[in-house]
Structure 1
Amino acid sequence: MKTHISVPVETKLFLTLVDFLRSNGDARDPAEVVSAAIEYWLDNASWKPELLTESSTRGYQWKSLFLPDGTEIRMQYKGTYFYAKVEGDDIIYNGKSISPGSLANTIAGNSRNAWRDLWIKRPHDKEWRLADECRSDANDAD
């Protein structure tokens, strides 16, 4: 016989999980998925040390590229530079939170590839670097 305990999960997070399962046609009980997530964490924590300590580093996770708090982002369009900055866990442009793709599209007014249009200068960088180059470096480190 299996026994169970209750683990407090924020209501909003649990409802997000329920909606995600529903929208993806997954009929599993959300509690079963939570158990699977715990098992996944346990399987990975031994070889991913970052899972064992809570990070106090703030920043924006852009796919495989982490942009720490204080990272500057710029894009040149029609001879003018436009700037955004990572503040906390968000990219801020004109006072509002925005994704990298939306930033490039907003600046240009049409569909752009943010990896090829945005330049990054993280707090430890001495020079601006194309986002796609930073992504390649991050992928090579994995």
Structure 2
Amino acid sequence: MKHTHRVYLELNYQMRKREDLRSEEEITLIALQEWMARNYGQPTSHGYQWKDLFLPHGTSLRICHRGMCYFAEVEGDLLIADGKIVTPNSWAEEVCGSVRNAWRDIYIRRNYREGWTHASSWRAAAGERPKQPGINRRRRARRITD
């Protein structure tokens, strides 16, 4: 219970410091809605639109290049990497040092319970959960021989 009290004291301090006139209840409700959207995939009005793919607030992006992994996250309506606002293409170019195909190099994880999936797989699935590699190979092979 004392941890909860500390959180509310910090919330009060931050609200006064920024002259935020909203109530604690209002801020708590916003925080809970964002937490549910991030962890349970509830619809959210905030996110980054990357061509045909919508990345909701809280989505993580990763590029692995030369043995190192670099991360970016969707915060509100912006894609943030290393504290800077970026686009997927400019971020991939900055990390790799050359012009890259961001769809091929970036992996996406929409919430902590999912694994990392290629952005191109998300794009091909038009924003729905992409099919895992190898699932449709058998079906395609069957159709060829029919």
The alignment's TM-score, normalised by the length of structure 2, stands at 0.56
Divergent runs of 4+, >3 A: none
Alignment correspondent of 2:107: 119
CA separation in 2, counterparts of 1:72 and 1:89? 13
**Structure 1 runs not aligned, ≥5 long:** 1-54
CA RMSD of aligned residues (A): 2.0
CA separation in 1, counterparts of 2:73 and 2:128? 25
Matched residue SS, 2:90: helix
Alignment correspondent of 2:116: 128
CA separation in 2, counterparts of 1:56 and 1:121? 16
Q: Per-residue displacement from partner, 1:2-58 (whole Å, max 9, x unpaired)? A: xxxxxxxxxxxxxxxxxxxxxxxxxxxxxxxxxxxxxxxxxxxxxxxxxxxxx8510
**Identity between Structure 1 and Structure 2 (%):** 43
The alignment's TM-score, normalised by the length of structure 1, stands at 0.57
Count of residue pairs brought into register by the alignment: 87
**Structure 2 runs not aligned, ≥5 long:** 1-42, 130-146
Alignment correspondent of 1:108: 96
CA separation in 2, counterparts of 1:140 and 1:73? 17
CA separation in 2, counterparts of 1:121 and 1:107? 19
CA separation in 2, counterparts of 1:56 and 1:127? 21
8 Å contact kept, 1:68–1:123: no
Structure 1 residues 124, 136: CA separation in 2 closer, same or farther (over 3 Å shift)?
farther
8 Å contact kept, 2:109–2:116: yes
Structure 1 residues 57, 124: CA separation in 2 closer, same or farther (over 3 Å shift)?
farther
Paired letter, 2:61: I
Q: Per-residue displacement from partner, 1:51-89 (whole Å, max 9, x unpaired)? A: xxxx85100000000000000000000000000000000
Structure 1 residues 65-74 or 121-130, which shifts more?
121-130
Matched residue SS, 1:97: strand
Matched residue SS, 1:138: coil
